Amino acid sequence: MVLVLLTKQVSVMDLSDILFLFLALVILVLYLRLMRKNRRLRQLADIANSSRRTAAEAEARNRQIKQEMTSNIAHELKTPLASLQGYLEILLSDKPITDEQRIHFLQRSYQQVMRLSHLVHDVSLINKAEESADLFPREDLDVRCVAQLAIEDLADKAAEAHITVHNFLPPLPLTGNQELLYALFRNLIDNSIHYAGTGIEIVIESYSPSPSSTHNQQSNTYFLHFYDTGCGVADEFLSRIFDRFLRIDHGRSRQSGGTGLGLSIVKHAVLFHGGEIYAKNRPQGGLEFFFSLSN
Q: Over 70: is that where the pLDDT of 61 sits?
A: no
Mean pLDDT computed over every residue of the chain:
83
pLDDT (mean) for 186-202: 94
What pLDDT does residue 19 have?
A: 72
Please check the confidence at residue 80 and state whether its pLDDT lies above 80. Answer: yes
Provide the pLDDT for residue 11: 53
Pick the more confident residue, 39 or 73: 39
Per the CB < 8 A criterion, the answer to whether 132 and 268 are in contact is: no
| Predicted confidence band of residue 53 (pLDDT cuts 50, 70, 90) | confident
Residue-level pLDDT at 244: 78
Q: What is the pLDDT of residue 65?
A: 63
Residue 131 is predicted with a pLDDT of 83
Residues with Cβ within 8 Å of 246's Cβ and at least 6 positions away in sequence, in order, are: 237, 240, 260, 263
Q: Is the pLDDT of residue 214 over 80?
A: no
Mean pLDDT for 59-76 is: 69
Distance CA 42, CA 263 (A): 46
In this prediction, residue 16 has a pLDDT band, given cuts at 50, 70 and 90, of: confident
Q: Are 230 and 193 in contact (CB under 8 A)?
A: no
CA-CA distance, 211 to 294, in Å (whole number)?
A: 19
Cα–Cα distances in angstroms (integers) from residue 62 to residues 36, 57, 59, in the given order: 38, 9, 5
Q: 112: which residues sit within 8 A by CB, 6+ positions away?
A: 80, 81, 83, 84, 87
The number of helices, as runs of H, and strands, as runs of E, in the chain is 8, 8
132-to-61, 127, 285 alpha-carbon distances in Å: 19, 8, 38
Residue 164: CB partners within 8 Å, gap ≥ 6? 158, 200, 201, 202
Q: How confident is the model at residue 254 (pLDDT cuts 50, 70, 90)?
A: very low
Rounded Cα distance, 202 and 157, in Å = 13
Q: Name which residue leads in pLDDT, 31 or 89.
A: 89
Per-residue pLDDT, 251: 35
Report residue 139's pLDDT band, with 50, 70 and 90 as the boundaries: very high
Cα gap 185→263, rounded to integer Å: 10
With beta carbons less than 8 A apart as the criterion, state whether 182 and 144 touch.
Answer: no
- Please report the pLDDT score of residue 156 as a whole number: 95
Collapse the DSSP code of 203 into the 3-class scheme (helix H, G, I; strand E, B; otherwise coil) and give the result: strand
Q: Given a cut of 50, is residue 250 above it in pLDDT? A: no
Q: Residue 272: CB partners within 8 Å, gap ≥ 6?
A: 129, 133, 136, 176, 177, 180
Ordered by where they begin, the domains of the chain are: 137-294 (3.30.565.10)
**Whether residue 119 has pLDDT greater than 50:** yes
| Confidence grade of residue 66 (pLDDT, cut at 50, 70, 90) | low
Helix axes 99-131, 2-92, angle to 10 degrees: 170
List Cβ neighbours of 241 (8 Å cut-off, separation of 6 or more).
Answer: 233, 263, 279
Q: Which of residues 186 and 78 earns the better pLDDT score?
A: 186
Comparing CA positions, the residue from 122, 115, 252, 272 lying closest to residue 187 is 122
156 or 238, greater pLDDT: 156
Query: Strands 287-294 and 277-281, how do they pair?
Result: antiparallel
pLDDT band for position 294 (cuts 50, 70, 90): very high
Long-range contacts of 71-80 (CB under 8 A, 24+ apart): 72/244, 72/245, 72/260, 73/119, 73/123, 76/119, 76/245, 76/259, 76/260, 77/116, 77/119, 79/254, 80/112, 80/113, 80/115, 80/116, 80/119
Of 40-54, 131-145, 173-187, 224-238, least confident by mean pLDDT is 40-54
